[in-house]
Amino acid sequence: MKDPFVSMTSFDLHAFLTAQRERQTAFLAELVKTPSDNPPGDCAPHAERAAALLEGLGFTVERHPVPEAVVRANGMVSVTNLVVRKRFGDGPVIALNAHGDVVPPGEGWTRDPYGAEIVDGWMVGRGVAVSKSDFATYAFALLALEAMGTARGTVELHLTYDEEAGGEIGPRWLLEQGISTPDMAIAAGFSYGVVTAHNGCLHLEVEVVGKSAHAALPMTGIDALEAANCVLTTLYAYRKGLPQHVSAVPGIGSPQLTVGLIRGGINTNVVPDRVTLRLDRRMIPEENPAEVEATLRAVIADAMAHVPGAQVQVRRILLARPLTPLPGTDRLAALLCAHATRIMGETVEAKGVPLYTDARHYAAAGVPIVLYGAGPHTIEEANAHRADERLPLSDLYKATEVVAAALADLLAE
C-alpha cells in the first residue's frame, strides 16, 4: 500500500519525524559512543561506523579517504570523509556539512563521555552537540525529503573529520578535489540562531632564541625568557586597544588576542636559550587578515628590540578567514529563520558568532552558506568543548523539522 505521506501537498512532516524520534536518538547515541577524539585524530574508524549507520537508513555512502601523507601533514592519523548524494531531479545542489571529529573529553565529567546517557531529556557525551548531533539532524531531514516525494534538486551530506584541526582536509579537500560542487550549503550550528557571519582566526608561533649560560654567570648568555617577557608585555598592551573596534555584525563583538601556549627553558640553573609562544588572534569580518598579521609581526619585532642579541622567528600556523555573506546567503537565512521561528516557538534571527568554522571553506569556493542545526541557545548551555557536553533532544527533533522544511522550500523554487 502506498504511504499516505508521499505527496507534497498531503505530507505531514511533523508526524513523519515524530515517528522517527526513537530511531534518530539511537542513531546519534551510536555516533557518540564511538570515539573520534582529535587529537590524536584517528578518525577513520568513526567514519566507518557512521557510514554503516547511514547505510542502515538506506543511504548509499561514498567513502573518501584522505591520503596518509596529507593527513599526517595536517597533524592527524586517519581521515575518511563521507558523502551521501540524493538526486531528486533537476535543480540546485544543496550540501549539508557536519564534522565528526571532537576535542578530547578532558577532566571533570560526571557522566561517561562516550555513554550517550540521557538525563532529563538531554543526551550527554563528547561531540553530542558539536557536531555529531547534526549527522542526525541532516540524515533524518533527508529521510523526510525522500518520504515526501521531493521532485527537484539534489541534497548531499558532507560528513567530515578535521574541523578541530582547521578543516583543510575536510570540506576544503572535498571541494578542491572536485568531489562536490554544491550551489549552496548549510553547516552545523545550533537551533536558536541562523549564523551568516563569523570571525576569522590567525595562529602564530613565536620562537624567541637567546644563548644559554650558567645561572652563576647570566651576563654571559642572552636570556630568551626575558625577551619573551617583553614580547608578552607588548602584546598585552596591544590587546587593550582591540575592544575599540566592534563589528557591525550582531553577535560578533570585537577582535580578541590570546597567548595560549608557552614552553621553553633547560633547567632552573640555566639561562633559557629558547622560548616558544603560540597566540590566537580572532579577526572580525571587517578586518583584513594580511594587515592583522603584518601588525602583529611589527608589534613583536618592536618588543624584541629591547633585548639586544635575542632573535625571533614568527611562523604562521593557521589562517582562517572570516565568514561573510555571499549573494544567496540571505535567501537561505530567511527560510531557515522563518521555519525556525515557527517550530522553535520563539523568534530566530540571522546573526554572527565570534567562533570560526568549516563554513569558511564553502564561502571561499563561492558557495553561499549559513550555519544551522541542533543545539541549545549557547555553546555554554551545551557545555561545548568542556565536561558534560550535552544536547536537549527536543532541539534535535525540532531542528530536523526546520532543516527539512527549509530544504523542501529551496528545492521547490
Residue ranges per structural domain of the chain: 13-198+322-412, 200-320
CATH topology of domain 13-198+322-412: Aminopeptidase (3.40.630)
pLDDT at 167: 87
Contact 202, 293 (CB under 8 A): yes
Report the alpha-carbon distance of residue 298 to residue 264 in Å, rounded. 23
Quote the cell numbers at residue 161. Answer: 573529520
Pairing, β 80-87 against β 93-99: unpaired
Report the alpha-carbon distance of residue 314 to residue 307 in Å, rounded. 17
Does the domain at residues 200-320 carry the CATH identifier 3.30.70.360? yes
pLDDT at 4: 30
Contact 344, 192 (CB under 8 A): yes
Cβ neighbours of 73 (radius 10 Å): 11
Phi/psi of residue 131, nearest 5 degrees: -135, 40
pLDDT at 406: 98
Residues of the chain with pLDDT under 50: 1-8
pLDDT in tens, 197-231: 999 999 999 999 999 999 999 999 999 999 999 99
Q: Choose among 372, 327, 382: nearest CA to 350.
A: 372
pTM metric for this prediction: 0.91
